[in-house]
Every structure is written in structure tokens, then in C-alpha cells.
């Protein structure tokens, strides 16, 4: 009797060869729709670049992803950012499949984001440090600009110090001249008492 029940249950889930399997299995339906969407879409050429995810510095890339998504959307979407991290690191979703998955969230920005992301990942996996060359160049440029700003500030301070020293020297010169003039005038007054005919009055 038990075997009969098992056979009945087994027979109840047999799918006919003419049955659409996506009707019975929603996951298969979603996968089928995703593949159909991919065939109709035009993807950025950067998504064909090879990426070795084991060589990527994910600490750096996670920061970039969070920053870029926030820039594109104007707000910090933590759930979306976590989903992207999951696609990249845990599920290791392919770039084109990931493009389709992100389309409902990033909308018109999807192609731009995926183009930048995959170019970054390709560069990161090619560098020994695991960091994209774009970020390394940007950091070097930032350091150069910071040094230039600091040098400009030091130059301005040096000019101000030199100007202050010139003003101080000019002031001291004026004071010395005024002191000399006053001393000469005082000496002239003292001599004038004796410079009268007949001597001292």
C-alpha cells in the first residue's frame, strides 16, 4: 500500500514532453527570461574582458562599488550595494547576467556602471596589488595635487614673511631716521644758546 502511494506521488510530478517546464518551475522560467533578455540586449564591449576574481583586492573594490552606486543614484542603497557584492564575490555571476540583474535597479545607469566596473576588475586582476590601475593613477594624481597645494601654501607663506620682514626693516629705518633727526634738532637748540655775540646770556 505504501509503495502504491509513493508511485502515485511520483507519477503526479511527471511532466509530459509537451509541457512547458517553465510553467512548472518558476526558477527555470526566470532563467529562461534572463537568457532571452540577454539575447536582445547590447552589452558594453568591456564585459568581454577576462577577469580573475581571485586576484582582485575586494576591500578596495567594495569601497569603489559603494561610492559609485551612491554617486549614480544620489542616495546610499545599502541593500543594492550588498547585492552587487554578493554577485561579484559569492555567486560570481557573469558580467552580462549581472547586467540584466541590475537593470531594474540602476536603470539607465546600468551600462555605464557595468562598463566601469568590469574595466576596473580586469585591471585589478592584472595588477600584482589587485587594485585597478585607474585607482592607483587617481591616488597618485591626488598626492601630486596635494603636494602642489602644500608647496603653493608654503610659497605664499614665504612671500608674506618676506613682505613682513621688508615692512619691519622699513619701519625700523624710519624710526632710526626720525631718531637721528630729533637728536640733530635737539643738538642745534642746545648750541643756539651759546652762538650769540658776547657769549652766554
Q: Are 118 and 46 in contact (CB under 8 A)?
A: yes
pTM of the model: 0.58
> What does the pLDDT look like over 138-193, one tens digit per residue?
888 888 888 888 888 988 888 888 888 888 889 888 888 888 888 777 766 655 55
- For 17-61, write each residue's pLDDT tens digit: 333 323 333 444 455 566 676 777 889 999 999 999 999 999 999
pLDDT class of 198 with cuts at 50, 70, 90: low
Amino acid at each position: 500500500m505504501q509503495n502504491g502511494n509513493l508511485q502515485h506521488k511520483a507519477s503526479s510530478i511527471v511532466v509530459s514532453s509537451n509541457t512547458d517546464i517553465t510553467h512548472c518551475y518558476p526558477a527555470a522560467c526566470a532563467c529562461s527570461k534572463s537568457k532571452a533578455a540577454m539575447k536582445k540586449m547590447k552589452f558594453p564591449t568591456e564585459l568581454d574582458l577576462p577577469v580573475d576574481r581571485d586576484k582582485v583586492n575586494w576591500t578596495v573594490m567594495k569601497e569603489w562599488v559603494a561610492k559609485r552606486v551612491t554617486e549614480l543614484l544620489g542616495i546610499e542603497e545599502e541593500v543594492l550595494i550588498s547585492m552587487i557584492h554578493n554577485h561579484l564575490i559569492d555567486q560570481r555571476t557573469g558580467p552580462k547576467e549581472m547586467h540584466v540583474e541590475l537593470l531594474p535597479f540602476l536603470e539607465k545607469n546600468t551600462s555605464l556602471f557595468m562598463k566601469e566596473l568590469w574595466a576596473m576588475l580586469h585591471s585589478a586582476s592584472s595588477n600584482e596589488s589587485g587594485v585597478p590601475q585607474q585607482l592607483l593613477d587617481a591616488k597618485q594624481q591626488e598626492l601630486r595635487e596635494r603636494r602642489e597645494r602644500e608647496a603653493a601654501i608654503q610659497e605664499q607663506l614665504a612671500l608674506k614673511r618676506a613682505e613682513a620682514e621688508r615692512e619691519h626693516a622699513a619701519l625700523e629705518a624710519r624710526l632710526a631716521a626720525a631718531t637721528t633727526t630729533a637728536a640733530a634738532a635737539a643738538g642745534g637748540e642746545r648750541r643756539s644758546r651759546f652762538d650769540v655775540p658776547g657769549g652766554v646770556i
